Amino acid sequence: MNSVTVIGLGPMGQAMAAAYLGRGYEVTVWNRTAARADELVARGAKRAESVEAALTASELVVLSLIDYDAMDAVLAQAPPAVLAGRTLANLTSDTPDRARRAAAWLAERGAVQITGGVQVPPPAIGTPDAMTYYSGPKDTIEAHRAALEVLTGIDYLGEDPGLAALYYQIGIDMFWTALAGYLHGQAVAEANGISAEEFLPQAVKTMDMRYFLEFYAPRIAAGNHEGEVDRVSMGVASLEHVLRTTQSAGVDDTLPAAVLELFRRGVTAGHGQDSLTSLIGVMKSG
C-alpha cells in the first residue's frame, strides 16, 4: 500500500491528508495539537504519537506548517538520524532563502527536500485544475509524482529549491494586494449604500486584469515604458480623485494614499510622461 505522512493539520494539511485517504493511501498524521487529527483518525489515518514516529512511518513526508520556524521546531523534536532516506515535500510558506537553507540542512542529514507552493485554497485540493509550484531535484519529484498529483498538478520550475517559494511569494504579493484593493473599493461602495451583491458584477469586470497583463508583459520585457497609452501623471490625477472620493465617504484612505505616493515618486523620478510600467524601476530602487 502507498503510504505518506502529513505533518501539520491546519486547513491545508487536513485537506491533503483527506485527499490521500480518499485515494486509498496509508496516511500517518501528526500535529502539535493532537485533537486536530481526530476526524482523520476516524476515517482511517494513523495518529503518530511523536514526530519521530511520524517521520519513520513513510518515506514521503508532507509538511504543511505556518512557516519554516515552525518546521525547525517540529523537526528538532526527532533525532536527526531519522531523517536519512526521507523525502520531505515542504509545502510550508516562507522566503526563498529559507527554503534553500532548509534544503541544505536536510541534505546534511541525508534527506531530500522538494519545495512546494500550493496555488489553491484547501477546498480545491484534489480537484483537476489545482496546481502547485515545485522546485528541487527533478528525479525526486518524478519518483513521487503519483503521490504529489493526488493533491494537485505539478508546475515544475527547476532544481533551485528556492524557486517554488519565490514564485509563490510573488503570487501571494499580487493576491493580497489585489484583494485589499477590492475590499477598499467595497468599503467605499458600502459607505455610499451599495451592497457587495450589487457591486459584484462591476468588481468582477474590474478585477479581470488579463488584458492589461498580456499588454504590459512584453513591453516590460523589452524595456519599453513609453507613455503613448497611459502615463504616470495621469495616474496621479486619477488617484487624487480616488483619494478625495474615499475621504468624502469617511473610509480609511491609507491604501489609495500609499499608491498615490508611489505614483508621485514616479513623477519626481522623471517618469511623469512614461507608462505606469516605469514604476517598476521606482519600486526596485526602494
Both 250 and 120 in a single domain? Answer: no
> Residues with Cβ < 8 Å from 6, sequence gap 6 or more?
13, 16, 17, 20, 27, 28, 29, 30, 61, 62, 64
Both 50 and 149 in a single domain? Answer: yes
Q: What is the DSSP string of 87-150?
A: EEEE-----HHHHHHHHHHHHHTT-EEEEEEE-S-GGGTTSTT-EEEEES-HHHHHHTHHHHHH
pLDDT of residue 93: 95
Residue 46 pairs in a beta bridge with: 28
**Confidence bin at 1 (pLDDT 50/70/90):** low
Q: Looking at residues 31-48, what average pLDDT do you find?
A: 96
Both 174 and 151 in a single domain? Answer: no
Does residue 51 have a pLDDT over 80? yes
- As a whole-number percent, the residues of the chain with pLDDT over 70 amount to 100
Both 63 and 153 in a single domain? Answer: yes
Which class for 54: exposed (0-12), middle (13-18), buried (19 or more C-beta within 10 A)?
buried
pLDDT in tens, 81-113: 999 999 999 999 999 999 999 999 999 999 999
Which residue, of 127, 160, 193, is where some domain finishes? 160
Q: How high is the mean pLDDT of the chain? A: 97
Both 75 and 143 in a single domain? Answer: yes
Residue 34 structural domain: 3-160
Which residue, of 160, 191, 224, is where some domain finishes? 160
Which residue, of 145, 160, 175, is where some domain finishes? 160
Both 68 and 135 in a single domain? Answer: yes
Both 151 and 204 in a single domain? Answer: no
Both 12 and 148 in a single domain? Answer: yes
Q: State how far the Cα of 104 lies from the Cα of 115, in Å rounded to an integer.
A: 12
pLDDT of residue 55: 98
pLDDT of residue 285: 87
Q: Looking at residues 257-270, what average pLDDT do you find?
A: 98
Count the domains in the chain.
2
Q: Looking at residues 20-42, what average pLDDT do you find?
A: 97
pLDDT in tens, 120-177: 999 999 999 999 999 999 999 999 999 999 999 999 999 999 999 999 999 999 999 9
Q: Looking at residues 6-12, what average pLDDT do you find?
A: 97
Both 178 and 155 in a single domain? Answer: no
Both 236 and 135 in a single domain? Answer: no
Both 211 and 280 in a single domain? Answer: yes
Both 82 and 190 in a single domain? Answer: no
pLDDT of residue 12: 97
pLDDT of residue 274: 98
pLDDT of residue 22: 97
pTM (2 d.p.): 0.93
Cell numbers linked to 240: 487624487
Does residue 217 have a pLDDT over 80? yes
pLDDT in tens, 186-198: 999 999 999 999 9
